[in-house]
Amino acid sequence: MSLTGAGRIAGIMGWPVSQSVSPRLHGFWLEELGIDGALVPLAVKPEDFSTVLRGIMQAGFKGSSVTLPHKEAAFALCHDCDLAARAAGAVNLLIFHTNGRIEGRNTDATGLAQSLREKFGPDCVRGKAVVLLGAGGASRAAVVALHDLGAGEIRILNRTRSRADQLVAVLAAQVTPKLIVATDWMQAATGAALVIHTTSAGMKGAPALDLDLSVLPTDSAVCDIVYNPLETPLLKRAREAGLRTVDGLGMLMHQGVPAFEAFFGVTPKVTPALRQYLEEGLRAR
């Protein structure tokens, strides 16, 4: 690491923060590009969030990445926000401007869109139907990603239907794809080009969603935004069914690009070497 007193400093705020991959992600790029700077993990209790935020602004930080449970609190403190942040009511990137203004962005949406573009091409879902499993915060970022990719229709399938209705009510006027609340998997999956899984089912030992993937068109794809494990139970079944798959690591790497750019002033590259380095880090956990 190359760091002098003039180095550019940014943070990653979370509680806990030790599980965050961001220091490893940014550390790889800082090293690769030989930048005088650092991304510092900051373990911040929820009740201390605004105090620490003011402190790091005063200390000259360029900004901070934000992870759980602070994404909504961060959104509330921003002066300006992008569409994805407003849609999700949450930000994962804070940029501190020299005039004291705080800009908030939600780069999960751009990260997911870029990951899908990279894997399947820029027109992979243009004008097509996509199934969105889940209706929480992560699902909202996925809706904005699909808007960016020009999807024709998003069929939202959620365990609690009222939450899917709520998501449609909030986002329908802000995005171009037609938002539909699906009533069952069979209806949602028929003719779909892509399935994006954004629920927490299958995490922390909970059982994964039990979906019959054979009803999907054979040329459709399945994407999971989870990156640990890299091959989730859903992706494993999709692969075994001969469908194309995208794991959550692509989204993770690409969501970091705008943050790095804002903090350190250089656009970093997402490369196979970066993926390998992050996979090694995940395996060592």
Residues 160-189 that bind ligand ATR (CB under 6 A): 160, 163
Give the total of residues touching ligand ATR (CB under 6 A). 16
Single out the segment in contact with ligand ATR by CB under 6 A; choices: 23-31, 39-47, 95-103, 192-200.
Answer: 192-200
For residue 154 the two structure tokens come to: 């998003």
**Looking at 41, 136, 233, 281, which residue binds ligand ATR (CB under 6 A)?**
136
Q: Which is nearer to ligand ATR, 97 or 159 (CB)?
A: 159
Q: Pick from 83, 76, 93, 175: which is nearest to 132 by CA?
A: 175
Q: Which residue number has the CB closest to ligand ATR?
A: 136
Given the complex with ligand ATR, which of 53 and 226 has the nearer CB atom? 226
Render 71-82 in DSSP notation, one character per residue.
Answer: HHHHHHT-SEE-
Cα 31–chain centre separation: 24
Q: At what angle do helices 22-33 and 248-264 cross, to 10 degrees?
A: 60
**Sole window of 92-100, 152-160, 243-251, 263-271 interacting with ligand ATR (rule: CB under 6 A):** 152-160
Of 53, 112, 132, 138, the one binding ligand ATR (CB under 6 A) is 138
Site string for ligand ATR, 207-246 (x = CB under 6 A): --x-------------------------------------
Cβ contacts of 61 within 8 Å, gap of 6 or more:
9, 10, 11, 96
82's CB contacts (< 8 A; 6+ apart) are 104, 105, 106
Q: Which of 45, 79, 97, 159 binds ligand ATR (CB under 6 A)?
A: 159
Of residues 62, 71, 119, 128, which has the active-site annotation?
71
**Piece of 40-48, 171-179, 198-206, 248-256 that binds ligand ATR (CB under 6 A):** 198-206
- Nearest residue to 133 (alpha-carbon basis) of 111, 159, 105, 170: 159
Q: Catalytic residue at 45?
A: no
Under the binding rule (CB under 6 A), the answer on residue 111 touching ligand ATR is no
d(CA 88, CA 167): 9
Question: Is 199 a residue that touches ligand ATR (CB under 6 A)?
Answer: yes
CA angle 280, 107, 65 (to 5 degrees): 70
Record the tokens describing residue 164, joined without a space.
């899917």
Q: How far apart are CA 172 and CA 153, in angstroms?
A: 11
Judged by beta carbon, residue 67 or residue 158, the one nearer ligand ATR is 158
Q: Which residues bind ligand ATR (CB under 6 A)?
A: 134-139, 158-160, 163, 198-201, 206, 209
